[in-house]
Chains A and B, each alone.
Chain A
Amino acid sequence: MTGVSARTTLGRLERPALRGVLVREVINFSSFWKSSAFSSTVEPTIYLLAFGFGFGSLVSTVAGYDYVEFVGTGTVATAVLFSSVFSAMFGSFVKYQFQRTYDAILAAPVDTEELVTAEALWIAARAGVFGCAPMLVAMVFGLDPSWGMLLVPLIGALTGFGWACFGIFIAARLNSIDHFSYVTSTVVTPMFLTAGTFFPLSGLPEWAQVLGQLNPLHHCVELVRHAAFGFEGWVDLYHVGVLLAFAFVMWRLAIRYMTRKLID
């Protein structure tokens, strides 16, 4: 008899199943979009204003950019991170543990792979939109618009997909919602602080710079800055590659562990 492994083979994604899960998310979102949009955009904007004008009064330029421009583009990644990883961690846990929503969906012709993929796609789409908020605020304070900025939602969505899958993976791995604080303290916060959002990684010790290269959020920060101030060819392809690899690995891990959680 075929086991669980056969159910997680690549290439089984069906568009109607993805659409069904996405429609459910969109209809549900209509009932809580205000609070979600508020929390996902206001916090990074506060970081932008606090760091931009706090440090901005002490530091005029960083890495050749005005500090407000530097932070304004950097906090896009923060908004993407916050709106994806926390939604995925808490949302997925609540949906399978307390609301049993995933049981209801899996009783329909939807597999775990499609469920996880659609959930992550929806969170990624939201992250791509919410991620633009700090950049729009920074424009009010002097960040010049550029054509490259039109790609920022896509960069945010790609990054958000990886972090959404990371959040779903964590939700599937941990047995208590209280344990999420360990992940927030040891993974999310260090990643957020060492992404090059508020200060350039070039000022850190060499080992920290190497570690920074492993931080997917750093690659999002770099791509957003280059989208705003000018792309750098192969370097940006490398950043996209890292984000794609992060998203792919996290996607497969999220599917693997959520399948183990949902299918006995």
Chain B
Amino acid sequence: MASALSLRGVVKRYGPITAVDHLDLEVPDGTCVGLLGPNGAGKSTTMRLLTAQAIADEGEIRVLGHTLPADSKAARAEMGVVPQLDNLDTTLTVEQNLRVFTHLYRIPRAERHDAIERALEMARLGDRRDTRADKLSGGMRRRLLIARSLVHGPRLVLLDEPTVGLDPQVRQELWALIDALRAEGVSILMSTHYIEEAQRLADTVVIMAEGRAVASGRPAQLVREHVGLEAIEVYGPPARLAEAEAEARAAGYSTRRTGTSVSVLGTERSNGEAPDGERRPANLEDLFVLLTGEEAE
């Protein structure tokens, strides 16, 4: 399958800090890849590299057949970007915001009206077309950002933390919107630190930590490879948790603390040596914490 984008050995440094460290990443055409990692893992820098708003110190970047940064303008013409931070023109209406971007994306005059209508319909903002952006709710503003990124019918969409800071109901609305995009065959690279978001939307996930890709693959396959099939959740007072943790580690199991419990991972191979507790299937969150050492959201 051809790639919508690929990064090979990409390095980006800011003084003494290496934000992206020999990163290899690939988004096959028509798939959704989730870039999962804690804050500071290098996800946003990777997104900026893909729009040439950051220039790599080493490595090769290709987006939609164009080499970056030399041909970045051609690449940007064919992709849409949904930023993490809202950068709408707040004094303009929904329709005016989209109209501006029909010009920036060079849509011919005869096609601008249809392009705006399509984007409004996709984001379900048709009845808000004359509302100023600063009068919209947080969820609507996010939908407008997505509509703005789709106005020119891009082949690839970069979503940088698309649902960060939104309440669960609005988040699910946006997931439906992103899922519809994927169903239309648009290639998607989505950075997120929400496990559930990656699990629901991504065909494959790449887990980043300290600028590097520490694992990549289909979520279920990654969990199976790195964590196993099953985990045991041990609940109890702090002394009991410490005891269970020590016991499990002595028996060769990986563990992780989850606030009020300890998860003992890979317990499907247990012959009675794992501590007693509630058995559950291993999940992406187990993998995330195991590989990044950070608690997931």
- Residues in B neighbouring A28, C-beta threshold 8 A: 89, 91-92
Q: Which of A1, A23, A110 sits near B58, CB closer than 8 Å?
A: A1
Chain B stretch 260-276: residues in CB contact (< 8 A) with chain A: none
CA distance A106 to B103 in the complex (A): 13
Q: State whether the Cβ of A19 lies closer than 8 Å to any Cβ in chain B.
A: yes
A109 to chain B, nearest CB (A): 4
Query: 1/0 contact trace for B68-95 toward A, CB 8 Å?
Result: 0110011011000101011111111000
Would A263 and B100 be within 8 Å (CB), given that A6-B70, A104-B83 are in contact? no
Chain B stretch 107-136: residues in CB contact (< 8 A) with chain A: none
- Residues in B neighbouring A262, C-beta threshold 8 A: 53
Say whether A32 contacts B77, CB under 8 Å.
no
Say whether B99 contacts A27, CB under 8 Å.
yes
Would A31 and B105 be within 8 Å (CB), given that A106-B51, A107-B76 are in contact? no
- Residues in B neighbouring A99, C-beta threshold 8 A: 87, 89-90
Total cross-chain contacts (CB, 8 A): 96
Q: State whether the Cβ of B106 lies closer than 8 Å to any Cβ in chain A.
A: yes
Q: State whether the Cβ of A178 lies closer than 8 Å to any Cβ in chain B.
A: no
CA distance A27 to B77 in the complex (A): 22
Say whether B54 contacts A105, CB under 8 Å.
no
Q: Which of B74, B100, B148 sits near A23, CB closer than 8 Å?
A: B100
Q: State whether the Cβ of B55 lies closer than 8 Å to any Cβ in chain A.
A: yes
Say whether B96 contacts A27, CB under 8 Å.
yes
CA distance A100 to B48 in the complex (A): 14
Q: State whether the Cβ of B290 lies closer than 8 Å to any Cβ in chain A.
A: no
B143 to chain A, nearest CB (A): 16
CA distance A4 to B91 in the complex (A): 33
- Residues in A neighbouring B96, C-beta threshold 8 A: 27
CA distance A3 to B96 in the complex (A): 35
Instruction: Sort chain B's interface into a size bin.
Output: 35 or more
- Residues in A neighbouring B148, C-beta threshold 8 A: 104
Q: State whether the Cβ of B1 lies closer than 8 Å to any Cβ in chain A.
A: no
Say whether B91 contacts A107, CB under 8 Å.
no
- Return the chain B residue nearest A114 by Cβ: B73
Say whether A3 contacts B91, CB under 8 Å.
no
CA distance A22 to B77 in the complex (A): 18
- Return the chain B residue nearest A106 by Cβ: B53
- Return the chain B residue nearest A7 by Cβ: B69
B50 to chain A, nearest CB (A): 10
Query: 1/0 contact trace for A75-101 toward B, CB 8 Å?
Result: 000000000000000000000000111
Q: State whether the Cβ of B247 lies closer than 8 Å to any Cβ in chain A.
A: no
Say whether A263 contacts B54, CB under 8 Å.
yes
Say whether B74 contacts A3, CB under 8 Å.
no
CA distance A103 to B89 in the complex (A): 12
Say whether A107 contacts B81, CB under 8 Å.
yes
Say whether B51 contacts A107, CB under 8 Å.
yes
Q: State whether the Cβ of A21 lies closer than 8 Å to any Cβ in chain B.
A: yes
Say whether A111 contacts B55, CB under 8 Å.
no
Residues of B at under 8 Å CB distance from A? 12, 14, 45, 48, 51-56, 58-60, 69-70, 73-74, 76-77, 81, 83, 85-92, 96, 99-101, 103-106, 148
17 contacts between A and B (CB under 8 A): A1-B56, A1-B60, A2-B69, A17-B104, A19-B103, A21-B104, A27-B100, A28-B89, A28-B92, A31-B91, A103-B53, A103-B83, A107-B53, A109-B106, A110-B104, A263-B52, A263-B55
Q: A24-B104, A99-B89 are in contact. List 11 more A-B contacts (CB 8 A).
A: A4-B55, A23-B100, A24-B100, A27-B96, A101-B89, A103-B87, A108-B101, A108-B105, A109-B105, A264-B12, A264-B53
